[in-house]
């Protein structure tokens, strides 16, 4: 399991493909705050709820100076289907090699129904406009998480 990020750490740089196959880098958002959230799989109930919550609150977050990037191990094609099926406005990025998930501490050991396995740890990292980790939240819930972020960030 990779190390979890802590406030003050430099956010690991990345470049991934979005749902349309375009490259998106964390560096593209320099000068703006970024909420990077990691989720297990597109088109699943919890991940759909979380992505819809971010989409529903995107104007509020953007108005407060935050961009939102959702990262999963899905392919760009699956992300495009997810975006189109659910009318998502959040930028979804594909990390099929799990390198970014690992760099952010969002991939590792999980337990479910008494079984231990390796998987995506639902996580949210808030990166400030200078590329430093402002908040690192791990094992977050899919439901109600966006409202908690908005409250915690005083938006």
Give the catalytic positions in this structure.
47
In the three-class reduction of DSSP (H, G, I as helix; E, B as strand; rest coil), residue 20 is classed as coil
Is 125:108 a contact under the CB 8 Å cutoff? no
Chain centroid, CA 131 distance in Å: 15
H-type alpha helices, 10-144: 45-56, 58-63, 76-86, 99-103
């Amino acid at each position: 399991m990779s190390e979890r990020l802590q406030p003050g750490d430099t956010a690991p740089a990345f470049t991934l493909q979005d749902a349309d196959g375009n490259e998106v880098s964390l560096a593209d958002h320099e000068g703006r705050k970024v909420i990077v959230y990691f989720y297990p799989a597109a088109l699943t109930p919890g991940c759909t709820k979380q992505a819809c919550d971010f989409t529903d609150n995107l104007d509020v977050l953007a108005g407060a100076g935050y961009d939102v990037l959702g990262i999963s191990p899905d392919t760009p094609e699956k992300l495009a289907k997810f975006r189109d099926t659910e009318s998502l406005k959040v930028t979804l990025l594909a990390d099929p090699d799990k390198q970014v998930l690992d760099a952010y501490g969002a991939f590792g050991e999980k337990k479910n129904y008494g079984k231990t396995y390796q998987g995506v740890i639902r996580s949210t990292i808030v990166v400030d406009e200078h590329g430093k980790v402002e908040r690192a939240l791990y094992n977050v819930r899919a439901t109600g998480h966006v409202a908690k972020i908005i409250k915690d960030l005083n938006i």
